[in-house]
Amino acid sequence: MKVLVINCGSSSLKYQLIDMNNEEVLAKGLAERIGIDGSKIKHKPSGKEDVVIEKPMSNHKVALEIVINALVDENYGIIQSMDEISAVGHRVVHGGEKFSGSVVVNDDVMKALRECIDLAPLHNPPNIMGIEACQELMPNVPMIGVFDTAFHQTMPKSAYIYPLPYELYEKYGIRRYGFHGTSHKYVSNKAAEKLGKNIENLKIITCHLGNGASIAAVKNGESVDTSMGLTPLEGLAMGTRCGDIDPAIVTFVMEKENLDINGVNTLLNKKSGVLGVSGVSSDFRDIESAVKEGNDRAELALDVFANRVKKYIGAYAAIMGGVDAIVFTAGLGENSPEIREAVCEGFEYMGIEIDRTANKVRGKETIVSTEDSKVKVLVVPTNEELMIARDTKELV
Ligand code: ADP
């Protein structure tokens, strides 16, 4: 059985075709600049040369048509016909309170997704466009929706209700939802497997540190708290997002800098985080290089970032009544020994001891704590596409 996994952004479409008999990725790729000049697809078929296909793509449907043609192309294709695709799994960012697991998409689901647009105005519309494009091009193939928010639907009310007038929750659904759920679920389960323990008896803190970053408290296999909130802006400092700040700063800055709603949204989402503090870049590789060249603000940005992750680890150990394992994943979590060390440093009193030699690892599933460390620290590469494909297979 072959499953196509689709992840649509406003001007991009990422895809993977996975053979679920052996979970092998047959092809993957990225269509960029959809609806903008210079659209192209980078297509990577397994065992064949990568190709770049440059063609105008006015919308996601056109992009998807080109992707399907690439998958069946006689030179760089990987299947004979699109009939071989048994199902399509779609990443959907916001499922609100309606979805606590993946679902087969039908008219009711589409209606519910549209109702969630208010909660994720930047993310849900392209996700919906991706589903509609697939439905038009593959009318008889089942579509599955896999939600970033679903895994966190197990949080207790005490974790997801904001101390605001309760009516705002009732009227608008203002509450913590949390994101990166597919990744937090995947890496917590992988960590339990690696430790040879049943996840139902473990307290795990998962740190998804990429361009967007979030952290989750996973108790007995269920998310009980997470750092992102109503939107992905809350929590950790990120590449360009501020994470937690005093909410009074918003109106203060609007007044001082004469910013309107769009202006302040851009400031908090695009100009803050490690980019804002360092003035160098949102990419941690650039920041780490700048630190090596003696750039103080780059160093400060890393300190601010690590400090925030540390605070959340302490907080989540507190709410779970302890912690058995800490898991690092995503671009930075998987690839930066420096950040992992900075985060774990000073936690020895809690029984967290990183093994500096084992920690010199990039992108490989490994235990990086010492033999004696009471709390195990692991690097687990995330694989959201595989999780989406597994859910898709299970549901069809
Ligand atoms: P997203 O999916 O949120 O865009 P990723 O999980 O791909 O993000 O992570 C991207 C980030 O990971 C980059 O911005 C970069 O800062 C960081 N990163 C990737 N590789 C490395 C590395 N070798 N060293 C340090 N940071 C890295």
Q: Which residues of 182-216 are buried (b: 16+ CB within 10 A; e: fewer)?
A: bbbbbbbbbbbebbeeebeebbbbbbbbbbbbbbb
Instruction: Answer yes or no: is pLDDT of 9 > 90.
Output: no
Q: Is 232 in the pocket of ligand 1 (CB under 6 A)?
A: no
Decide: helix, strand or coil at residue 233.
coil
Q: At what angle do helices 284-292 and 296-320 cross, to 10 degrees?
A: 120
Say if residue 225's pLDDT is above 90: yes
Looking at residue 338, what is its pLDDT? 95
Mean pLDDT of 280-307: 96
Pocket test for ligand 1, best of 12, 93, 211 (most atoms within 8 A of CB): 211
Residue 305: CB within 6 Å of ligand 1? no
Residue 120: predicted pLDDT: 86
| pLDDT at residue 118 is higher than 90 | no
Q: Which of 269, 346, 339, 268 is nearest to 306 (CA)?
A: 339
Residue 234 buriedness (CB in 10 A; 0-12 / 13-18 / 19+): buried
* CB of 210 shorter than 6 A to ligand 1: yes
Could you please report the per-residue DSSP string of 87-137?
A: EEEEEES--TTT-SS-EE--HHHHHHHHHTGGG-TTTHHHHHHHHHHHHHH
**Domains of the chain and any CATH numbers:** 2-147 (3.30.420.40), 197-379 (3.30.420.40)
CA 77 from chain center: how many Å? 29
Active site residues: 148
Q: How far is the CA of 84 from the centre of ligand 1 (A)?
A: 34
Q: How far apart are CA 383 and CA 41, in angstroms?
A: 21
DSSP letter for each residue of 165-232: -HHHHHHH--S---S-HHHHHHHHHHHHHHHT--GGG-EEEEEEESSSEEEEEEETTEEEEES--SST
* Rounded-to-integer distance, Cα 224 and Cα 320, Å: 8
Three-class DSSP category at 258:
coil
Q: Are 115 and 96 a contacting pair, CB within 8 Å?
A: yes
Q: Which of 12, 335, 362 to mutate to test the pocket of ligand 1 (most atoms within 8 A of CB)?
A: 335
> Ligand 1 within 6 A of 285 CB?
yes
**CA 208 to ligand 1 center in whole angstroms:** 10
The pLDDT of residue 251 is 98
89 CB within 6 A, ligand 1: no
Residue 210 Cα, ligand 1 centroid: separation in angstroms? 5
pLDDT at 272 over 90: yes
Q: What is the pLDDT of residue 119?
A: 86
- What pLDDT, on the 0 to 100 scale, is given for residue 253? 98
Q: How far is the CA of 385 from the centre of ligand 1 (A)?
A: 17
- For ligand 1, say whether the CB of 283 is within 6 Å of any of its atoms: yes
pLDDT digits (tens, 9 = 90+) for 138-189: 999 999 999 999 999 999 999 999 999 999 999 999 999 999 999 999 999 9
Percent of the chain with pLDDT over 90: 96
Mutate to test the pocket of ligand 1, among 28, 179, 285, 359 (most ligand atoms within 8 A of CB): 285
Residue 320 has a pLDDT of: 98
Is the CB of 235 inside a 6 Å radius of any atom of ligand 1? no
Mean pLDDT of the chain: 96
Quote the pLDDT of residue 242: 97
pTM of the model: 0.94
Query: Residue 339 CA: which ligand 1 atom is closest?
Result: 25
